[in-house]
């Protein structure tokens, strides 16, 4: 049953539809229909039976509640579904019923049905990643020169730019898109091995049927069935875990920048969004919360799939079962995070003036490094560092701007003019390669997208 209270918040509707009960049933039924066509092509099933099987392979014809009850005793979803499929066929074309599921096993239907669902999920995730990357690319270019304070160990460090921060997320998304592209041929493969993986029930027709079945479903035929070799699914889950982590980092930074004490960047506002049940003034980072929540939940789900990998012999007891809800849950959580990330990236509200004011909260201290680097070339590194450290301590103790303290220090004024000091203590002149990093990330994105 769909968790209606929370699904709209944590999951994209299109992804939930893919992994709905109907979506799961249709994946298995698509396998059964394609199997009938493939076996008919190989001469194992009369062509007259195919139409009856295909007509019965529609998920809406089956009672989900009844199937759910049957699963409790059958041990998986394919056994009661195949029985129900046979009954439906028998009511119309009785002689076709004997050809249903010929030579296959329950896991063939379930795993291949899952792969068909994962193909749809992968396409959805790739499209969402592409849209988000496009948006971050535009925003990174727009804010390539928007300075804000860099923060290390949650303390003010040296200036960076908002564009540079967004380009960092963009770069990660590009790498994730590359990973998904690379794993696609490994993931989208047929599962068809019969009882123990040998397809012995089909005799000499086994390989022709397998090849035709793969072609029917537009899947690749792997080197052999993979009933207890689950690396393909775990690889996909792992990349989704990476995506969740990168989105979580984006959400974490957004939420920190939204803090009252920072107030530099905000999620887009909307009526009723981010409010409090008791405090009218609140503007909570509700989108970022989804990103952080997914990044927190997905690693545990991925670890479940890793824990389920040492599956015994040719078919597993319990470990395979542990996968059934886990991978769909990961897909749903990542889809929800991607949807919320797009909303944030598209409509983020930037307070550049507040960013500039926050750069000066420490009264020039964030640019002490800039002065120290120049002085080191003239006084030596240790002497320059010690001198700047003393000046910074004096500025803090006397609650004065570092520029004023440096201007009064004879050892500094002997080496640096007032104009040089002004320039060194201007954040806009200490952004390093920030613009270059933006350009490189955008270029990588464009090269992958082209």
Query: If phi over 0 gives left and psi between -120 and 50 gives alpha, with beta otherwise, what is residue 188?
Result: beta
276 labelled catalytic: yes
Instruction: Decide: helix, strand or coil at residue 157.
Output: strand
Q: 10 Å Cβ neighbour count for 347?
A: 14
The dihedral through the CA atoms of 6, 11, 12, 15 has a sign that is negative
Q: Which two tokens stand for residue 64?
A: 């989900």
Nearest alpha-carbon partner for 254 in 244, 267, 270, 268 = 267
230 labelled catalytic: no
| H-type alpha helices, 42-161 | 47-56, 64-74, 78-92, 106-142
Q: Which two tokens stand for residue 7?
A: 């699904």
In this structure, are strands 147-152 and 155-161 parallel, antiparallel, or unpaired? antiparallel
CB burial readout 100-128, b (16+ within 10 A) else e: bbbbbbbbbbbbbbbbbbbbbbbebbeeb
Residue 141 CB burial class (10 angstroms; 0-12, 13-18, ≥19): middle
Nearest alpha-carbon partner for 250 in 171, 138, 197 = 171
Residue tagged active-site, from 138, 315, 354, 423: 315
- Spatial distance between the Cα atoms of 262 and 355, rounded to a whole number of angstroms: 8
**Phi, psi (degrees; rounded to nearest 5) at 147:** -80, 145
- Extract the runs of DSSP E, i.e. beta strands, from 200-242: none
- Spatial distance between the Cα atoms of 343 and 66, rounded to a whole number of angstroms: 40
Q: Which residues contact 33 (CB under 8 A, 6 or more apart)?
A: 53, 54, 57
- Spatial distance between the Cα atoms of 36 and 170, rounded to a whole number of angstroms: 45
Q: Which two tokens stand for residue 365?
A: 């201290």
Residue tagged active-site, from 196, 198, 269, 276: 276
Helix or strand holding residue 265 (H, E): strand 265-266
Q: Which residues belong to the active site?
A: 276, 315
């Amino acid at each position: 049953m769909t968790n209606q209270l929370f699904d709209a918040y944590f999951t994209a509707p299109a992804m939930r539809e893919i992994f709905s009960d109907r979506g799961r049933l249709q994946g298995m039924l698509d396998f059964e229909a394609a199997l009938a066509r493939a076996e008919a092509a190989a001469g194992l099933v009369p062509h007259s039976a195919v139409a009856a099987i295909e007509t019965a392979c529609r998920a809406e014809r089956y009672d989900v509640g009844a199937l759910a009850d049957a699963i409790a005793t059958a041990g998986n979803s394919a056994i009661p579904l195949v029985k129900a499929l046979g009954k439906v066929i028998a009511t119309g074309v009785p002689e076709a019923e004997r050809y249903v599921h010929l030579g296959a096993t329950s896991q063939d239907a379930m795993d291949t049905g899952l792969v068909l669902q994962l193909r749809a999920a992968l396409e959805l995730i790739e499209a969402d990643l592409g849209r988000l990357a496009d948006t971050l690319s535009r925003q990174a270019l727009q804010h390539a020169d928007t300075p804000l304070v860099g923060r290390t160990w949650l303390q003010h460090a040296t200036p960076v730019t908002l564009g540079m921060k967004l380009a960092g997320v963009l770069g990660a998304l590009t790498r994730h898109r590359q990973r998904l592209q690379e794993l696609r041929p490994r993931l989208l493969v047929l599962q068809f091995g019969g009882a123990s993986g040998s397809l012995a029930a089909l005799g000499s027709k086994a390989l022709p049927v397998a090849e035709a079945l793969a072609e029917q479903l537009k899947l690749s035929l792997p080197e052999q069935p993979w009933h207890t070799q689950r690396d393909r699914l775990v690889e996909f889950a792992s990349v989704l875990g990476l995506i969740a982590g990168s989105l979580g980092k984006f959400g974490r930074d957004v939420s920190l920048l939204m803090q009252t004490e920072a107030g530099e960047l905000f999620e887009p506002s909307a009526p009723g969004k981010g409010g409090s049940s008791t405090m009218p003034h609140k503007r909570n980072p509700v989108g970022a919360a989804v990103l952080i929540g997914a990044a927190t939940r997905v690693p545990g789900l991925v670890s479940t799939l890793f824990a389920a990998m040492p599956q015994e012999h040719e078919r597993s007891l319990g470990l395979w079962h542990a996968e059934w809800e886990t991978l769909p849950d990961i897909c749903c959580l990542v889809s929800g995070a991607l949807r919320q990330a797009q909303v944030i990236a598209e409509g983020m509200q930037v307070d550049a003036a507040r960013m500039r004011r926050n750069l000066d909260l420490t009264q020039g201290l964030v640019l002490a490094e800039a002065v120290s680097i120049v002085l080191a070339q003239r006084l030596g590194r240790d002497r320059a560092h010690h001198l700047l450290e003393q000046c910074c301590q004096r500025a803090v103790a006397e609650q004065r701007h570092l520029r004023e303290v440096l201007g009064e220090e004879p050892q500094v004024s002997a080496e640096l003019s007032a104009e040089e000091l002004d320039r060194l203590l201007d954040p806009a002149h200490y952004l390093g390669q920030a613009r270059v990093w933006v350009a490189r990330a955008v270029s990588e994105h464009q090269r992958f997208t082209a």
